[in-house]
Amino acid sequence: MAGGIKEWPEGERPRERLIRSGADGLSDAELLALIIRTGDFSAKVSAIDLGRELLREFGDLRGLARASVAEICRVKGAGPAKAASIKAALELAGRCDSHDITAQERYSSSLQVYEHYRFRFRDRKKEYVMALLLDGKNRVIREVPISEGSLNQSIVHPREVFNPAVRDSAAAIILVHNHPTGDPSPSREDLELTRRLREAGEVMGIRVLDHVIIGDGSYVSLADKGYL
């Protein structure tokens, strides 16, 4: 019933157990209950029950991370406020596992790019294209969003990539995008886009150092593969 956690013995409540012994001993549903805090009294759903129902509906925490606010709100007992809290908590968790590439940091390898973007892109349903702008010493100037694609493709024109590079006087760029399928193997379109960008960059005097494709737990660097 709603508010049921308050009726538990104090030593069995998730919050008190976390404070006493740490978060490791709590189940996913209990951790979600602490984020949700209270259930929906009108629907007579406790926070624990709602956490369990969310995990049942979306399979696991990764499935929940992939769900939209609207999808979460369709679960009985959830609403926009709770959905927003859940999405914020899961986004923070993903950012904790990311390795930031900060301004003025020197680019050294494709693995560095992968470690920065792997959790950010891992559960995206759409294809996102980013460009890292670098100075003459391969130090990061800034990150630029280039394109948000459909579920299976993203259309990128060289001018969308090089316009911000010219404005920021970048000497080089690194293109990064994800494959929502989880397989980072380059498609024919990926290879063609890389060729076009390389050729445009040669004309403009801006090097294309790499094109890194992020999958689920793996990546492909077209520079490492010899395409650049």
Question: Which numeric CATH code is attached to 4-96?
Answer: 1.10.150.20
Domain boundaries, the chain: 4-96, 110-221
Q: Name the pTM for this structure.
A: 0.64
Q: What is the CATH number of domain 110-221?
A: 3.40.140.10
pLDDT band at 2 (very low <50, low <70, confident <90, very high): very low
Q: Mention every residue, 6+ apart, whose C-beta is less than 8 A from residue 151.
A: 125, 126, 127, 180
Query: Distance between CA atoms of 124 and 16, rounded to whole angstroms?
Result: 34
pLDDT of 192: 92
- Summarised one tens digit per residue, pLDDT across range 153-164 is 567 888 889 999
Question: With 50 as the cut, is the pLDDT of residue 25 above it?
Answer: yes
Strand partners, 11: none
pLDDT digits (tens, 9 = 90+) for 105-135: 777 889 989 988 888 887 788 899 999 999 9
Distance CA 47, CA 28 (A): 12
Compare 216 and 98 and report the one with higher pLDDT: 216
The pLDDT of residue 91 is: 78
How many H helices and E strands in the chain? 9, 5
The domains spanning 4-96 and 110-221 adopt the same CATH topology: no
Q: Does the structure show a pLDDT above 50 at 97? A: yes
